[in-house]
């Protein structure tokens, strides 16, 4: 592969818009869009919809379904979610690229971390600037530039920006599955590591919520008449924790036990919340069966158990399609003087969903940064153009056929 004159024009298009690419990401990051901040999500969605107007594509808001939410009191409720934004260009082209991102962040509306500042070393420090409002700006910049390429007609693309990735994509998962099934190559914009390293194989993940119901009683007068849900939850938590080390690569994190009340009352309710990570499908099947077995056995009489949740993202191994795509991206990066490497990750993202639906994908094409999910989150401004040029050139090479999207998809289907 080499950079042709019309490829260079695309790269120059990106470089000429550096200030705008960075500044719009800062603007979006200054608007709180925690996953459950409906008003904030809507404000950011307005900005994204307006920015997408520059692409002359079909832009529409896609309603998402509700999801089940278990409260700390054990009550099961249906939770509504904000709309996704879908941007579509040339849906009938022979090659289809799916680009995804999320506009929610982990920072709630009452977070003290609300605005972007520039650190003394030049890095941008702000909520979601790396994860992933910077990534969304990079995504749009790459598409804006690609649309001047003479071979663009052979490549259609669809962007999905979701409102719930940080809580496991409960509402957008069906949309991701649909796009993954009909696309040929996926590009997702989680931040890369600080040195530009990409995530390779990813573990799968599951989130569970176990409601423990007991019987209330006076702790002094009628202790034996009660059934303590908090004590039962603690025993179950210990059983879950004991699963660690029983199967290679499988981890179980008991994250929270909620419930109980006054000290003189035998607790009649508790909720155990835990996350599991698995390296492959066999491990996923094992942990799912084991968790359900534990949840079917109350630790002592008088308790009832009600399990909610499950595996939210399947493992994403480095199969033949992923290996071939990574090699093509590495070669593309080399044309730009970018040395790209990858390594396994225990983290999960929309790339897991897309791969499970049959779509080979690179899922860390966003900006270079770090300390995500904390008030130290940062992104390097220079990486915005660098990463947008990488994505734009990948699209150019898909259009020219030098990256064979149809073959990549075929390789993925062979392993399903």
The full set of domain ranges for the chain reads 5-203+315-414, 204-313
Dist CA 225 CA 218 (whole Å): 8
How large is the angle between the packed helices 405-414 and 320-335, nearest 10 degrees? 150
Model confidence at 173: pLDDT above 90: yes
How many other C-beta atoms can be found within 10 angstroms of the C-beta atom of residue 3? 15
Size of the chain, expressed as the number of residues it contains: 416
For 254-301, what is each residue's pLDDT tens digit? 999 999 999 999 999 999 999 999 999 999 999 999 999 999 999 999
Q: Return the residue matching tokens 């994908």.
A: 361
- Measuring CA to CA, how many Å separate 248 from each of 241, 252, 286, 348? 15, 12, 12, 18
pTM of the model: 0.94
The backbone region for 305, taken as left when phi is positive above 0, alpha when psi lies in -120 to 50, beta otherwise, is beta
Average pLDDT over residues 337-358: 95
For 66-77, what is each residue's pLDDT tens digit? 899 999 999 999
How many other C-beta atoms can be found within 10 angstroms of the C-beta atom of residue 329? 23
Model confidence at 1: pLDDT above 90: no
Q: For the domain bounded by 204-313, which CATH number is listed? A: 3.30.70.360
- Measuring CA to CA, how many Å separate 51 from each of 25, 150, 285, 391? 11, 23, 42, 18
Model confidence at 89: pLDDT above 90: yes
For 190-221, what is each residue's pLDDT tens digit? 999 888 899 999 999 999 999 999 999 999 99
For 30-60, what is each residue's pLDDT tens digit? 999 999 999 999 999 999 999 999 999 999 9
Average pLDDT over residues 171-198: 95
What confidence score (pLDDT) does residue 17 get?
A: 98
For 366-379, what is each residue's pLDDT tens digit? 999 999 999 999 99
Q: Percent of the chain beyond pLDDT 90?
A: 97
What confidence score (pLDDT) does residue 196 get?
A: 87
Average pLDDT over residues 114-126: 98
Q: Are 251 and 276 within 8 A, CB to CB?
A: yes
Dist CA 309 CA 138 (whole Å): 33
Average pLDDT over residues 381-402: 98
- Measuring CA to CA, how many Å separate 20 from each of 217, 353, 384, 389? 63, 31, 10, 15
Q: Give the burial class of 32: count Cβ atoms within 10 A of its Cβ; 0-12 exposed, 13-18 middle, 19 or more buried.
A: buried
DSSP codes, 107-133: --TT-S----EE-TTS-EE-TTIIIII
CA dihedral 133, 138, 139, 142 (to 10 degrees): 160
Q: For the domain bounded by 5-203+315-414, which CATH number is listed? A: 3.40.630.10
Q: Which residues make Cβ contacts (< 8 Å) with residue 332, sequence separation at least 6?
A: 1, 390, 393, 394, 397, 403
Distance spanning both ends of the chain, measured CA to CA = 30
Q: Are 409 and 185 within 8 A, CB to CB?
A: yes
What confidence score (pLDDT) does residue 195 get?
A: 84
Buried b (16+ CB within 10 A) or exposed e, 101-134: bbbbbbbeeeeebeebeeeeeebbbbbbbbbbbb
Token pair of 220, please?
């002094």
């Amino acid at each position: 592969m080499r950079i042709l004159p019309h490829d260079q024009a695309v790269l120059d298009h990106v470089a000429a818009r550096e200030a705008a690419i960075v500044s719009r990401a800062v603007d979006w990051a200054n608007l709180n869009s925690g996953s459950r901040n409906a008003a904030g999500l809507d404000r950011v969605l307005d900005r994204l919809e307006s920015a997408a107007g520059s692409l002359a594509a079909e832009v529409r808001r896609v309603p998402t379904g509700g999801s089940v939410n278990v409260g700390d009191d054990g009550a099961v409720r249906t939770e509504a979610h904000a709309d996704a934004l879908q941007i579509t260009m040339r849906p009938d082209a022979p090659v289809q690229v799916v680009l995804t991102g999320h506009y929610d962040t982990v920072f709630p509306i009452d977070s003290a971390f609300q605005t972007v500042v520039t650190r003394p070393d030049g890095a941008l420090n702000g909520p979601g600037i790396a994860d992933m409002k910077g990534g969304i700006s990079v995504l749009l910049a790459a598409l804006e530039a690609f649309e001047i390429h003479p071979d663009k007609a052979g490549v259609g693309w669809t962007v999905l920006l979701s409102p719930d990735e940080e809580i496991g994509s409960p509402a957008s998962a069906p949309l991701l599955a649909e796009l993954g099934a009909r696309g040929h190559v996926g590009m997702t914009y989680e931040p890369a590591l600080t040195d530009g390293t990409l995530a390779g194989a990813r573990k799968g993940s599951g989130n569970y919520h176990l409601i423990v119901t007991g019987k209330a009683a006076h702790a002094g007068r009628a202790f034996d008449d009660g059934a303590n849900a908090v004590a039962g939850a603690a025993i179950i938590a210990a059983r879950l924790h004991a699963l660690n080390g029983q199967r290679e690569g499988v981890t179980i994190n008991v994250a929270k036990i909620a419930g109980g009340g006054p000290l003189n009352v035998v607790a009649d309710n508790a909720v155990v919340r835990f996350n599991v990570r698995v390296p492959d499908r066999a491990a996923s099947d094992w942990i799912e069966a084991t968790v359900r077995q534990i949840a079917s056995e109350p630790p002592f009489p008088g308790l009832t158990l009600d399990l909610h949740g499950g595996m939210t993202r399947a493992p994403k191994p480095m199969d033949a399609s992923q290996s071939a795509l990574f090699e093509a991206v590495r070669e593309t990066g080399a044309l730009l003087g970018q040395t790209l490497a990858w390594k396994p990750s225990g983290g999960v993202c929309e790339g897991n969903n897309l791969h499970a639906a049959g779509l080979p994908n690179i899922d860390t094409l966003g900006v270079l940064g770090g300390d995500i999910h904390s008030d130290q989150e940062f992104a390097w401004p220079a990486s915005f153009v660098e990463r947008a040029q990488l994505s734009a050139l990948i699209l150019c090479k898909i259009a020219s056929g030098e990256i064979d999207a149809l073959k990549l998809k075929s390789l993925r289907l062979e392993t399903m």
